[in-house]
Structure 1
Amino acid sequence: MKRLMVLMMVALATACAKDEVTEQKASFGSTIETAYSKAVVLQEGVEVKVTKIEDSRCPKSVVCVWEGMVKVFISVSEKGATKEAVIEIKGGEQKPASTTVELNGTTYAIEVTDVSPYPQTPDPISLQDYKISFTIRKA
């Protein structure tokens, strides 16, 4: 009986430790909405994943000296190679922010158009609650 309980605890711990990866399929140039830690598989086996979010944007119901910013950390993988990119969007700005990543001789342009939810109060937002909208193109 003890062995069974130990095996069940190990199986549960292993399942909880894995990153949640979805097989969300998308194509280059289309608007993609994804969540923190969820992978998106594009044409030709390119995988994009949001690995970290740092949000210091001023909440809507608060008066701040600085509007803050949100940083979206993105991992782009293809054929065993991975590159990281950081995209910063200043609080209150309506235009998208972009960066490029070169991987296996191909340059990819990534443009983040939205990071939601926008903070409403000084309380932090759980990483799992964030939704990121972006496009990726071959440059």
Structure 2
Amino acid sequence: MKRQRLFPLLIVFLLLGCARTKQVASQEPQIPPPPLQPLQQSPPVALSWQKPIAVGSLTVTLQKIEDSRCPKDVLCIWAGRAAADVQLQDSSGTSISKTLALGSMVTVPFGSKTYRVTLREVTPYPMISDLHPAEKEAFISVSVL
């Protein structure tokens, strides 16, 4: 009999214990975090071999393209890779050479600024049936960090 009376009391205490509590306002004002600054990213820029292109405050020159990707009209065991060697030069004349792999980002410090350079695409995509392939182009984007 006692168990039958204690059970409803136990349920009531459990429900009261789970009741929502009000948050107590702290005495210190909450300071919101500073807003994140968006990256200043250039749209993808096409680079041709040995033709300098201005991207923001940098001059970028394509030195070499390596493209061992599997051609579209062939079945390959290995997908291959595409990479581009670029030379980056800032307004003071300081230059750095970097190798960019397709899809990867490289961080390049120049004085007080740091840039992130990404190889977005290498065109044209290789094809065995193309007897006279066009000159390769590398598409890069540059972000100021």
Q: More helix by proportion, 1 or 2? A: 1
Which residue of structure 2 lines up, in the alignment, with residue 118 of structure 1? 125
Which is greater in Rg?
A: 2
- For the 8 Å contact 2:51–2:62, the answer to whether it is kept is yes
1:23-42 to 2 correspondences below 5 Å:
29-42=42-55
Superposed CA RMSD in Å reads 2.4
Could you report, residue by residue, the CA deviation over 1:40-96 in whole angstroms, capped at 9, with x for unpaired residues?
11333x21111111111111112211111011111100112111111112xxxxxx3
Aligned to 1:68, what secondary structure does the other structure show? coil
Q: Point out 4+ residue stretches in structure 1 off by more than 3 angstroms.
A: 122-126
Separation of aligned partners in 1, 2:96 and 2:123:
24
**1:130 corresponds to which of 120, 131, 136:** 136
Aligned to 1:100, what secondary structure does the other structure show? strand
The alpha-carbon distance between structure 1 residues 64 and 124, as it changes in their structure 2 partners (threshold 3 A), is farther
- For the 8 Å contact 2:49–2:64, the answer to whether it is kept is yes
Which residue of structure 1 lines up, in the alignment, with residue 101 of structure 2? 88
Give percent identity, aligned residues only.
24
* Structure 2 gap segments, 5+ residues each: 1-39
Shift of 1:31: 2.2
- For the 8 Å contact 2:55–2:142, the answer to whether it is kept is no
Q: More strand by proportion, 1 or 2? A: 1
* Structure 1 gap segments, 5+ residues each: 1-26, 90-95
